[in-house]
């Protein structure tokens, strides 16, 4: 049974994470995604490679696609890319402002040839404002939006980036896919495509869904004191740690929370997540700890009174959890209906029984690397199944087939290969263009 986006041709000009993650989501839904790569491939192929022109990072965001490697600095390479894009249903780019226009791959040029084209452009900071010309990556979005400061992780006085996932990149990819599907739905009604714009900066802001300030909850004098301390820090009078402590005191919801955190057990770690007083009472009672802050609605949960009470009982919570093994606590808290979970190491996930029971792993055969085990599409659809069974593409491997679809014959394809307008991985390995790890 075909996927929901079967019949939709997507031409993907993106690199690294955000754009490729978006187009992988579309491929999972059945779209035919043609990834247009530079002669030496998406730069992500060369970051911590596991084989020439292959890396874990690249494999993780390019499942289900076909690859054509073109030299867009040559006239004929640009012409092929323009023809591919003009015939597509969807084009996705992540060039810096101005690059797409120079290559003849901008929305205005392509939509003039195809009014039904859905064109999604992701940039670092958008097209307006003082940051608009800058290149950008996930850490820069985290920095400029303030996201990097939320976790208060400090090393030698400097905030550390959120590294567990590329927050801005992945949310950008999801927003892009969401926008594209909405535009395709609108096209069914109007017959016309449209230009979609996203940015890592906008996604970094959107991911911080809670209001930054609340007039009712945030004391003006406290805020002014924090801003004054920040001004002093920026003039060299204070270090980041000084302002971080003040911010923890001034922003609602920050500070000690015994009911939403990770604890050590006798043999491991366990996380608890109690977001209402019923759940907090259940955990308190299961632990046998006296904590009146969860009785009724007598306490403002974000008040200093509650935070002070939790500072006074934190050692009791921690010592109690250390008395039993994780398995014992899971059984006890599950029976009490307390939201909880073991803390698994990432290396354990691929062998986790729950992961396998829910079909969250995908086994694919890669032409270069052999069997691959990777996260599957997390969406299930009863009538249009998700997840194309194609492995991440080998650099340029589908180029000849893509050109045949455009009407090129074998002689023309051979000429383009000889002139290095069209590139194949095996030819690169046989030439002097890459080193032993496949880097240009």
Report the distance separating Cα 27 and Cα 14, nearest Å: 14
Instruction: Tell me if residue 12 is catalytic.
Output: no
Report the C-alpha dihedral over residues 382, 385, 386, 390, rounded to 10 degrees: 160
Map residue 201 onto helix, strand or coil: helix
Catalytic residue among 32, 42, 138, 169: 169
Whole-angstrom Cα distance, residue 289 to residue 283? 9
Crossing angle of helices 220-234/240-250, nearest 10°?
170
Contact 339, 274 (CB under 8 A): yes
| Gap between the Cα atoms of 204 and 257, Å rounded | 25
Rounded to whole angstroms, what are the CA distances from 150 to 136, 167, 368, 439?
20, 13, 41, 36
**Complete DSSP assignment for 46-102:** GSSEEETTEEHHHHHT-TTEEEEEE-TTSHHHHHHHHHHHHH-SEEEE-PPTTHHHH
- 149 secondary structure, DSSP code: G
Alpha-carbon separation of residue 204 from 137, 175, 208, 263, 373 (angstroms): 11, 11, 7, 29, 30
Structure tokens at 371: 């069997």
Three-state DSSP class for residue 299: coil
Tokens representing 377 are 């599409």
Residues known to be catalytic: 169
């Amino acid at each position: 049974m075909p996927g929901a986006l079967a019949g939709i041709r997507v031409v993907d000009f993106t690199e690294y994470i955000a754009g490729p993650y978006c187009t992988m989501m579309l491929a999972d839904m059945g779209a035919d995604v043609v990834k247009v790569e530079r002669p030496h491939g998406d730069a992500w192929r060369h970051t911590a490679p596991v084989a020439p022109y292959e890396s874990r990072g690249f494999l993780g965001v390019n499942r289900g696609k076909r690859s054509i490697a073109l030299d867009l600095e040559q006239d004929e390479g640009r012409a092929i890319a323009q023809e591919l894009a003009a015939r597509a249903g969807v084009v996705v780019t992540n060039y810096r402002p101005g690059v797409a226009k120079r290559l003849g791959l901008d929305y205005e040029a392509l939509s003039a040839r195809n009014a039904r084209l859905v064109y999604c452009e992701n940039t670092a900071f958008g097209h307006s404002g003082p940051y608009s010309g800058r290149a950008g990556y996930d850490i820069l979005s985290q920095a400029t939006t303030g996201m990097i400061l939320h976790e208060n992780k400090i090393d030698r006085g400097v905030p550390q980036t959120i590294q567990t996932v590329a927050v801005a990149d992945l949310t950008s990819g999801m927003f892009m896919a969401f926008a594209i599907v909405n535009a395709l739905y609108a096209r069914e009604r109007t017959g016309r495509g449209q230009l979609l714009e996203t940015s890592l900066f906008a996604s970094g802001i959107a991911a911080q869904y809670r209001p930054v300030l609340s007039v009712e909850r945030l004391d003006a004098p406290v805020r002014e004191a924090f801003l004054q301390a920040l001004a002093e820090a920026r003039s060299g009078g204070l270090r980041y740690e000084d302002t971080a402590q003040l911010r923890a005191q001034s922003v609602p919801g920050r500070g000690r929370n015994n009911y939403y955190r990770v604890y050590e057990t006798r043999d491991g770690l366990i996380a608890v997540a109690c977001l209402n007083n019923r759940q907090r009472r259940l955990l308190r009672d299961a632990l046998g700890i006296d904590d009146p802050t969860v009785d009724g609605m007598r306490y403002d949960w974000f008040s200093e009174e509650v935070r002070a009470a939790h500072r006074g009982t934190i050692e009791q919570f921690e010592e109690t959890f250390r008395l039993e093994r994780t398995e014992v606590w899971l059984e006890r808290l599950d029976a009490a209906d307390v939201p909880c979970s073991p803390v698994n190491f990432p290396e354990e996930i691929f062998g986790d029984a729950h992961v396998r029971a829910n079909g969250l792993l995908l086994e694919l055969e890669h032409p270069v690397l052999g069997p691959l085990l990777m996260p599957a599409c997390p969406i299930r659809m009863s009538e249009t199944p998700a997840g194309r069974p194609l492995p991440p593409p080998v650099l340029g491997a589908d180029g000849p087939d893509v050109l045949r679809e455009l009407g090129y014959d074998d002689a023309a394809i051979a000429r383009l290969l000889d002139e290095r307008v069209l590139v194949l991985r095996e030819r690169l390995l046989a030439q002097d263009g890459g080193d032993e790890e496949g880097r240009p």
